[in-house]
């Protein structure tokens, strides 16, 4: 059995940087955003590595990475990502800001996926991050799947196991630190990945050179994606307030500690 795996993943500012929101024309932005170093979204990275492992285990499978972002920054990020695993890039030139509307983003991604030559929806697995370090609404991937007519959707996936009969066992996070086990007969399906179980692959220069022969032309022919912010209104943006109140107690019963915490929360 072979799969066609499309991974949706964009770039985000390096999480080690200090991010400060500022008021921009029309919508908020990040201070000095153009100067911030970028990385592949961590959740999308897990999805990409899982996709590559699945494709490697099943002959004649293929992986596409569909990414929306400024071309210059996409090129910078792909120089690193291309050395990890084999994939074919489908690039869209547009904003990757966390303030972009997820509905418009999903529409652009779905259109780009539908235009992939030779894509067989009967073998399609749509991968992406369960969450995002940029668009944390957790809704983009679901809307992409709906636009492509894929109704079998799983979010918070940690493991995908293909059974001998071609069905797939999916380990999906639920509340209370537990997992839900689902059996899917087969593609198409949408899987929003959590952290998975695979480590980040080591850099492989040979894989990087093979990928870059396709990545650079893909970036050159990247279509402009106008992500409209119409209908979205931001009242204000600010860094989360930091507050710390410390009190040292010795030999205080756990019941009293819990009672004080509940009282403190209910006062807020």
Write the pLDDT tens digit of every residue in 28-69: 777 777 777 788 888 889 999 999 999 999 999 999 999 988
Sign of the CA dihedral with 140 first, then 144, 146, and 147 last: positive
pLDDT in tens, 178-207: 889 999 998 899 999 988 788 888 888 899
- Pair 228, 101: CB distance under 8 Å: yes
pTM of the model: 0.80
What is the model's pLDDT at position 224? 81
Burial of 19 (0-12, 13-18, 19+ CB in 10 A): middle
The residue written with tokens 């996409």 in the block is: 74
- Domains for the chain: give ranges and CATH numbers: 4-224 (3.40.50.620)
Check whether 84 has a pLDDT greater than 70: yes
Q: Which of 1-10, 97-106, 142-151 has the lowest mean pLDDT?
A: 97-106
> What's residue 64's pLDDT?
93
pLDDT of residue 218: 87
pLDDT at 43: 87
Mean of pLDDT values over 11-21: 76
């Amino acid at each position: 059995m072979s799969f066609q795996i499309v991974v949706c993943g964009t770039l985000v500012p390096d999480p080690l940087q200090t991010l400060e929101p500022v008021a921009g024309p029309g919508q908020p932005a990040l201070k000095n955003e153009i100067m911030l170093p970028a990385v592949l979204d961590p959740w999308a990275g897990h999805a990409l590595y899982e996709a590559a492992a699945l494709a490697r285990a099943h002959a004649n499978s293929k992986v596409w990475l569909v990414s929306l972002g400024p071309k210059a920054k996409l090129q910078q990020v792909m120089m690193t990502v291309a050395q990890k695993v084999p994939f074919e890039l489908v690039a869209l030139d547009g904003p990757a800001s966390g303030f972009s509307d997820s509905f418009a983003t999903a529409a652009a991604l779905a259109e780009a996926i539908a235009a992939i030559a030779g894509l067989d929806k009967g073998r399609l697995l749509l991968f992406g991050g369960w969450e995002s370090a940029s668009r944390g609404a957790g809704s983009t991937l679901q809307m992409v799947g709906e636009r492509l007519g894929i109704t079998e959707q799983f979010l918070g996936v940690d493991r995908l196991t293909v059974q001998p009969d071609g069905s797939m066992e999916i380990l999906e996070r639920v509340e209370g630190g537990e997992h839900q086990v689902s059996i899917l007969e087969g593609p198409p399906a949408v899987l929003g990945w959590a952290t998975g179980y695979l480590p980040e692959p080591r850099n492989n220069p040979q894989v990087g050179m093979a990928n870059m022969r396709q990545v650079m032309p893909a970036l050159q022919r990247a279509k402009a994606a106008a992500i409209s912010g119409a209908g979205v209104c931001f009242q204000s943006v600010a860094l989360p307030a930091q507050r710390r109140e410390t009190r040292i107690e010795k030999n205080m019963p756990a019941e009293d500690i819990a009672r004080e915490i509940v009282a403190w929360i209910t006062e807020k």
